[in-house]
Structure 1
Amino acid sequence: MNGAAALVEMLVGYGVEVIFGVPGDTNVALYQALKANGGRLRHVTCRDERSAVFMADCYARLTGKPGVAEVPSGAGAMYGLPGVAEATQSSVPLILLVNDIPQPGMGRGTLTELPVTELFNPIAKRAEALGSIQKLPEVVRRAFRLATGGRPGAVVLSLPEDILYETLPDSASLHVEQRCRSAPSSRVHAAASDVEMALETLHGSKRPLIVAGGGVNRSQAGDMLTRLAEKLMIPVVTTITGQGVIPDDHRLAIGIIGDNGFHPHALWALRQADLAIYVGCRMGSVATMNWKLPTDNSATRIIQIDIDPGIIANTYDVDLAMVGDAQAVLSDLYARAPVAVPDAREEWIAEINGRRKEFWRGTEPRLKSVQAPLLPERVIDALAGHLSGPCNVISDAGTPTPYSTRFLRLDHPRSKLVIPRFFGGLGYAIPAVVGAHFACPEMRSVALFGDGSLGMSAGELETIARLKVPVVLIHFNNACFGWIKALQRVQSAGHDNEGTFGVDFSNLDMSKLAQVYGIRSFRVQTSTELEQALAAAFASDEPVFVDIVVESIADRLPPVFSWLEKSGVDPEDVGTGARHRSSLSHSVETSEQASRP
């Protein structure tokens, strides 16, 4: 058995079902081994190395198992940087295999030579080069151990081509560590004294609030969090990456906090809470609206629970620090929590839910609007009407984000909304939806993306068509880098609107692009066409591309706290639908007979 065959054998042993990658000069040995592995490990050929890593990232987010991608040397490795950085900072278990140049050529100006470990170490949890065939099993085991252990992250292995051709010694053991097949591989419990102190603090609280971050999803702790919230009658708000830890229709599921796509009633609850329990949340700039909430002089007590001790109290002075895995700590709290809770919590929950109902009543006109171009929230509401069962919705970080986080309601406990939030890189949704399909083939997957993202990942439409992945692809077409154009208008409020620069595209019918790849497509410009296209898409068992002409977020302020505040609009006004003060365009409510743009 050569090194490449041994590598594949170990990947199978770790439960890897699919590996995403791009062929190149240096990964021939690996491809030969993959071809000979008898179908136990499926390889998905991508059109771009960035896409391969994004697919692996999304697969890992939805399964908890390490996503695996492989790339050739040189530019292939460089294109893997964005996905590795995002996975590490978003605590996603991921392993990137860089098929590197042969060892004898290193340091001699060999074509495509790069210092791989030096390149990735600043952004990966670990980057390591394989130095000899004898070390291969050890290096692979360490990669899975680190990717899944503690706070999960991305591990990069540089595998010289010549070593993968060498024969593995008979003495080498290809055993795998079963606990490292998924993350977290070990669950760290908080100190018993901290658990008791937390329960004592909770007992004295009349208005407690749980703030669930992405760490709850990474820990697969949603069910336990819901059970604890129900037992102690604690309402739950989430960050964007924490969405889905509790079904949106649950009485205790209040909504989203943070700068982007927030719910006014969720922010109100955080302002009024006498105790905020942050679970798996960094308390970074987005979740705290640039550290404005909680305020420095707030009477709100803070308990922070996180697997990474370096995160706790990093941005706020907390009253109780609990270092541990989210599911483990929540389980301990649940097991020791008393049954009786203060009567005041029922009034607290009722008041928040009253405000939640007021919010949804106030937004109803925009959600059902027949305006053309279509409002982005109208698109999200229409989509929600077709999500009758469990589904995975993958959104890019641009135009769809504030509307999907605020208006998309996922009621099924298995449904997830995935957004790459840490670095906000575009071009994620289209490839990631492929990873979502392989993670949960029994569930429908939906991709939400704008013009900028489509331009960066359009090649993967061929991958989707080739694999016949039954996904629904929803394009928010506003012919510009909408998010940046909107930001330029916010920054230039009160000045000449003509100052927007470098953000506009040609106004094109992108459904024709999907047709080039053999994907069934629709061009949507009215609400009637929207409903017809979505109905057809969800009735289909093949990929469907829906190109929707939407109002640009550069023309009307999206639900972004800092932008609304800067523009002189009360962010917590339920009826906020304000237009940019510097916008020269005007949107008028129209009927279905309105002239099309």
Structure 2
Amino acid sequence: MRVKSLIFMNGSKLLLTLLKDYDVKHIFGLPGESSISLYDQLKEGEVLHIITRDERNAVYMADTYAKLTYKPGVAEGPSVGSIYMLPGVAEAYKSSTPLIVITTDTPLYGEKENYLTALDQASLFRPITKETITVYNVEELPHAIRRAFRLSTSGKPGPVHIRIPLDVLEDELKGNVELKAQKEFSKYPSQRPLADREMIRKAVDLILKSEFPVIICGQGALYSMAWDEVTELAELLGILVGTTITGKGCIPETHPLSIGVVGGRGGANFSNSIVDKSDLVILIGSNTDSANTYNWTIPSRGKTVIHIDISETETGNNYDSINLIGDAKVTLRELIKEIKGSGKIDKKNIILDRSAFEDRLSKERREAVNPLRFIKELWSLSPEEAVLIADPGVSAIYTAAFYKAKKVGRYFIFNYGLGGLGYSIPASVGAYFARPNSLIFSLSGDGSFGFSAGELETIRRVNANVVIIIFNNGSYGWIRAEMKARGKDIVGTDFSSPDYVKIAEGYGLSAYGITNDEEISDTLKRAIKNTPSLVEVIVEPEDKFVPPVMPWSKRFL
């Protein structure tokens, strides 16, 4: 479609028109001098703009929004705020989240003339994006947007950065411009390439000969929406299924074949020992990083491994494996078809019982609240469609290990691309706009709270259906435990505890406190009923109540 330039079709209006053509409904960001022209168009409200209190948090919101909607999240920031966006973009890049990251800028000539807020944005974003695109004139915008969406949603997904100077946003079109969107790239996976059929047949042969195979699903299986195929393959042959912490949700964890989370983050000895006993590991959508594999020991590098992944950079990267490079969903579908056609199906009959393991831990009495008891109470009170977002520390580890996924799909968000603090509170805003009819839980720590407290105002302003849970141990508890594990003195980890309940009330949220196990159930019920709300939970630091983290958790049987 060719569209002639219109009287008021300046760069800002053109940008919004192009984004709408890609079915963009929400943009997260905040204004600056370089983006005033853009905000003049955003006032029309055709795309809902969510004003945030920090540029990094805007990216975190877009990141979770993308994970839950299967559409690229869109975040924008002004030139002065571009540097604050980097932590969020780096997290998205490491976790392969498809984002469109738009930064406005001063006129490009100003970078060499000490124009206020001018800096080389492209060099900042290049190492942590699939590509950074600078738009030099208004006529280039359609090509830039088409390229950004195509790159972001194809192959191994990820963030793409678009840099638009303010003079481009203010310039009017001169002549005709093609506005046609490539609609197939408005969602992901936009394309589903199939792995090589000969490699699939080799994999099938290994699977059928195996005595004790185990499936481990990473986050890529969720990106591919391959949960039906994972469950079908498991049930077809009686294969046990574990997930990495970021792959949680690839199978219901109430399923008799589920062993829960495995690896160094959230994997208990119960699940990790099963991987250790296996004679074949089928990795699906896993980047096999050091945390998920506990430094490549779960599974060990001596295992026979089949690795299915969309990314040629990840498949076979850390294991000598049979490599199936392709979309997880369609590749599993073809693999299942080959198995069914082989006439050699030998279904395993394995019975799991982890109840004794969990019951023993939940009955332990602590000086403060038992995190396992808390997570089990939360599980019993949460709707099936609830979304849980957890920061690193007590929040993520106990949720990963002990909150059983009630159904398949994206209901758990962990920022373990990098694992920085301060993610879950802003991310809960993105989750709310992605799934406005779901109850959202933000599980955070007192360390993380200090990074993102300002977004309580955003949560109250948009009236998000969010329950924020703050685990208060008066410290950076994870680092305390790591120092202790390494035989070091505990230094520089402790800080004072403000009144989190009063802080939340000052922002207009309902707020509650839990100091012992008996208060958990009734307090959670009130918080769920009166959202947006915050619950402070007093817990011990991780060095005193060791969570399921290898190698700390030798006592977790």
Shift of 1:293: 3.0
Shift of 1:415: 5.6
* AA at the equivalent of 2:296: W
Which of 295, 315, 319 is the matching residue for 2:300? Answer: 295
Moved more, 424-433 or 256-265: 256-265
Distance, in Å, in 1 between the alignment partners of 2:98 and 2:347 is: 41
Distance, in Å, in 1 between the alignment partners of 2:420 and 2:30 is: 20
Q: Which residue of 1 is the match for residue 53 of structure 2?
A: 47
Distance, in Å, in 1 between the alignment partners of 2:312 and 2:108 is: 39
Show CA shifts across 1:5-40 (max 9, x none): 11101111111110000111111111111112xx33
* AA at the equivalent of 1:410: A
Q: Which residue of 2 is the match for residue 590 of structure 1?
A: none
Q: Which residue of 2 is the match for residue 257 of structure 1?
A: 262
Shift of 1:360: 2.5
Distance, in Å, in 2 between the alignment partners of 1:488 and 1:470 is: 37
Shift of 1:452: 1.2
Contact 2:132/2:162 (<8 A) preserved = yes
Q: Which residue of 1 is the match for residue 10 of structure 2?
A: 2
Which of 326, 330, 335 is the matching residue for 2:328? Answer: 326
Match status 1:444 vs 2:439: yes
Show CA shifts across 1:110-135 (max 9, x none): 01111011111011111111011111
Distance, in Å, in 2 between the alignment partners of 1:135 and 1:120 is: 20
After TM superposition, list the pairs within 5 Å mapping 1:542-557 onto structure 2: 542-557=531-546
Q: Which residue of 2 is the match for residue 580 of structure 1?
A: none
Specify every segment of 5 or more residues in structure 2 that has no aligned partner in the other structure, as ranges. Answer: 1-8
Q: Which residue of 2 is the match for residue 420 of structure 1?
A: 415
Contact 1:372/1:525 (<8 A) preserved = no
Contact 1:481/1:504 (<8 A) preserved = yes
Q: Cα RMSD between the aligned structures?
A: 1.6
1:446 match: secondary structure: strand
Match status 1:315 vs 2:305: no
Distance, in Å, in 2 between the alignment partners of 1:331 and 1:170 is: 49
Contact 2:137/2:168 (<8 A) preserved = yes
Shift of 1:177: 0.8
Show CA shifts across 1:253-277 (max 9, x none): 1111111221323212211111111
Distance, in Å, in 1 between the alignment partners of 2:300 and 2:26 is: 46
Distance, in Å, in 1 between the alignment partners of 2:129 and 2:200 is: 32
* AA at the equivalent of 2:56: R
After TM superposition, list the pairs within 5 Å mapping 1:31-430 onto structure 2: 31-36=39-44, 39-74=45-80, 76-296=81-301, 298=302, 300-318=303-321, 320-338=322-340, 343=346, 345-346=348-349, 349-350=350-351, 353-354=352-353, 356-366=354-364, 369=365, 371-414=366-409, 416-430=411-425
* AA at the equivalent of 1:235: L
* AA at the equivalent of 1:135: E
1:247 match: secondary structure: coil
Q: Which residue of 2 is the match for residue 501 of structure 1?
A: 491
Shift of 1:223: 2.0
Distance, in Å, in 1 between the alignment partners of 2:239 and 2:300 is: 21
Specify every segment of 5 or more residues in structure 1 that has no aligned partner in the other structure, as ranges. Answer: 494-498, 565-569, 575-597
Shift of 1:311: 1.3
Q: Which residue of 1 is the match for residue 466 of structure 2?
A: 471
Distance, in Å, in 1 between the alignment partners of 2:436 and 2:177 is: 36
Contact 1:88/1:153 (<8 A) preserved = yes
1:345 match: secondary structure: coil
Distance, in Å, in 2 between the alignment partners of 1:436 and 1:106 is: 37
Distance, in Å, in 2 between the alignment partners of 1:555 and 1:341 is: 51
* AA at the equivalent of 1:539: K
Distance, in Å, in 2 between the alignment partners of 1:272 and 1:455 is: 43
Show CA shifts across 1:364-412 (max 9, x none): 413xx4x441122222122111113211100011231221111111213
Show CA shifts across 1:475-534 (max 9, x none): 0011111111221222226xxxxx321111113321110011011100211223221110
Shift of 1:78: 0.5
Distance, in Å, in 1 between the alignment partners of 2:170 and 2:225 is: 39
Q: Which residue of 1 is the match for residue 455 of structure 2?
A: 460
* AA at the equivalent of 1:505: F
Shift of 1:233: 2.1
Contact 1:255/1:265 (<8 A) preserved = no
Identical aligned pairs, as a percentage?
38
Shift of 1:106: 3.1
Distance, in Å, in 2 between the alignment partners of 1:17 and 1:224 is: 30
Distance, in Å, in 2 between the alignment partners of 1:253 and 1:111 is: 56
After TM superposition, list the pairs within 5 Å mapping 1:530-545 onto structure 2: 530-540=520-530, 542-545=531-534
Q: Which residue of 1 is the match for residue 4 of structure 2?
A: none
Distance, in Å, in 2 between the alignment partners of 1:171 and 1:457 is: 45
Moved more, 131-140 or 229-238: 229-238
2:541 match: secondary structure: coil
Distance, in Å, in 1 between the alignment partners of 2:485 and 2:517 is: 29
Contact 1:427/1:456 (<8 A) preserved = yes
Which of 464, 468, 483 is the matching residue for 2:478? Answer: 483
Which of 428, 433, 438 is the matching residue for 2:428? Answer: 433
Contact 2:268/2:401 (<8 A) preserved = yes
Distance, in Å, in 2 between the alignment partners of 1:5 and 1:116 is: 23
Q: 1:431 to 1:508 in 2, by over 3 A?
A: same
Shift of 1:414: 4.3
TM-score by length of 1: 0.89
Contact 1:84/1:124 (<8 A) preserved = yes
Distance, in Å, in 2 between the alignment partners of 1:290 and 1:18 is: 39
Distance, in Å, in 1 between the alignment partners of 2:462 and 2:484 is: 41
Q: Which residue of 2 is the match for residue 29 of structure 1?
A: 37
Contact 1:391/1:415 (<8 A) preserved = no
2:363 match: secondary structure: helix
Show CA shifts across 1:262-305 (max 9, x none): 13232122111111111111222112211223334x4x321111
* AA at the equivalent of 2:92: A
The 4+ residue runs of structure 1 with deviation greater than 6 A are none
Distance, in Å, in 1 between the alignment partners of 2:83 and 2:55 is: 9
1:385 match: secondary structure: helix
Number of aligned residue pairs: 548
Distance, in Å, in 2 between the alignment partners of 1:477 and 1:341 is: 54
Moved more, 285-294 or 208-217: 285-294
